[in-house]
């Protein structure tokens, strides 16, 4: 690796941590190959093994630049997820809480199968509804939000539209997943989504992305084990024609988030900000636009989104 300023490199490693920073230059390491020049896979992870030697023109500064590039993307993703989370809280509280202010504690609003005991792969008896109820109650109990504190001190029951203020994205998305289908349909319809299974999958993946961003974990060059599904009859997705690489990487999730944001805030300029950042991707060897899921090495495909 080309290190122009060793003292600065030492400072950056001390600030960021060697192991954390090494994740950003890892793709710039050469592959281990056999006698036939075929890439050797790790017997455990089934991923290509890497040598302790870098591709030509790999520089320490470019690795740090990729780290900062990833940070900018995380900040933009959190901004979008915040809007989706707050909107989803409002919609769920309205569509379900309208029928009963304490509906979130009532199993009648839940799919019957989600309230039945089941056995996991370790032989443990589980109950999805009971586990969710315990989790959300814990969040409410720990909350110090003024609205919740007021109800607690007044010995008043905490209504749906107050309780949701304590829920995290995982609790919110799981509640949608276990809701009765009629409520799922109404909530999805508010977002212009015609398939509740697709929305359930989206919320799972957005929650994973949210957790990675919140814990400052790398999102660039990440591959999801669960490819996204899209609304195949929706012209927006037909035009994008997302391939398998896109559906397992950040570009696919960005497309999904933008689809939702346009229905929440039609005047949002979020995607323009994302495109501007992506187009500044450092030229670190082994780190093409495809590592984000972008279909071409010319940068963000603005024309497909009409921006």
Residue 179 is predicted with a pLDDT of 97
35: containing domain: 6-64
- 43, pLDDT greater than 90: no
What's the total number of domains in the chain? Answer: 2
Q: 107 pLDDT exceeds 90?
A: yes
**235 and 173 in one domain?**
yes
Does residue 159 share a domain with residue 78? yes
Do 48 and 119 share a domain, yes or no? no
Percent of the chain surpassing pLDDT 90: 88
| pTM score | 0.93
Q: What is the mean pLDDT of the chain?
A: 94
Confidence (pLDDT) at 1: 94
- Give the model's pLDDT for residue 47: 84
With respect to residue 206, please indicate whether it lies within any of the assigned structural domains: yes
Are 30 and 173 contained in the same domain? no
Determine contact, residues 226/204, Cβ cutoff 8 Å. yes
What are the angstrom distances between the C-alpha of 131 and each of 157, 172, 178, 261, 269?
Answer: 21, 13, 12, 31, 39
Express each pLDDT in 163-214 by its tens digit.
Answer: 999 999 999 999 999 999 999 999 999 999 999 999 999 999 999 999 999 9
Distance (Å, rounded) from C-alpha 158 to C-alpha 69?
Answer: 42
The answer to whether position 1 is within a domain reads no
**Section 222-241 average pLDDT:** 94
Do 82 and 46 share a structural domain? Answer: no
Helix (H, G, I), strand (E, B) or coil at 167: coil
Instruction: Examine the domain organization and report whether 59 and 84 are in the same domain.
Output: no
Taking 90 as the threshold, does the pLDDT of residue 36 lie above it? Answer: no
Q: Are residues 131 and 244 in the same domain?
A: yes
Query: Mean pLDDT over residues 129-154, rounded?
Result: 93
Q: Are residues 49 and 13 in the same domain?
A: yes
CA 264 to centroid of chain Cα atoms: 18
Cα 111 versus chain centre, distance: 25
Q: How confident is the model at residue 37 (pLDDT cuts 50, 70, 90)?
A: confident
Grade residue 42 by pLDDT with cuts at 50, 70 and 90: confident
Same domain, 47 and 71: no
* 120 and 19 housed in the same domain: no
pLDDT-derived band of residue 259, with 50, 70 and 90 as boundaries? very high
Q: What is the pLDDT of residue 44?
A: 87
Residues 38 and 145 both lie in one domain: no
Helix (H) or strand (E) holding 305: helix 302-305
């Amino acid at each position: 690796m080309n290190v122009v300023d060793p003292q600065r490199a030492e400072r950056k490693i001390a600030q960021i941590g060697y192991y954390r920073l090494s994740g950003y230059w890892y793709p710039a390491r050469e592959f281990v190959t056999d006698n036939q020049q075929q890439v050797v896979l790790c017997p455990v992870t089934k991923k290509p093994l890497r040598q302790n030697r870098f591709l030509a023109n790999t520089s320490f500064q470019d690795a740090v630049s990729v780290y900062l590039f990833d940070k900018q993307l995380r900040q933009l993703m959190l901004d979008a997820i915040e809007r989706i989370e707050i909107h989803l809280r409002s919609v769920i509280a309205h569509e379900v809480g309208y029928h009963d202010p304490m509906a979130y504690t009532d199993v009648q609003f839940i799919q019957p199968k989600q309230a039945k005991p089941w056995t996991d792969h370790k032989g443990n008896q589980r109950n999805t509804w009971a586990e969710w109820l315990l989790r959300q109650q814990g969040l409410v109990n720990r909350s110090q939000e003024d609205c919740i504190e007021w109800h607690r001190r007044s010995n008043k029951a905490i209504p749906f539209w107050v309780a949701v203020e304590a829920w995290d994205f995982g609790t919110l998305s799981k509640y949608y997943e276990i809701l009765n289908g009629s409520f799922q349909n109404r909530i999805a319809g508010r977002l212009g989504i015609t398939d509740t299974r697709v929305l359930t999958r989206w919320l799972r993946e957005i929650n994973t992305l949210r957790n990675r961003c919140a814990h400052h974990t790398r999102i660039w060059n990440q591959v999801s084990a669960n490819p996204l599904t899209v609304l195949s009859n929706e012209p927006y997705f037909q035009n994008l024609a997302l391939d398998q690489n896109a559906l397992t990487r950040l570009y696919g999730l960005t497309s999904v988030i933008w689809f939702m944001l346009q229905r929440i805030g039609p005047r949002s300029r979020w995607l323009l900000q994302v495109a501007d950042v992506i187009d500044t991707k450092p030229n670190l060897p082994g780190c093409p636009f495809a590592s984000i899921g972008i279909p071409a090495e010319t940068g963000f495909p603005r024309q497909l989104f009409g921006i």
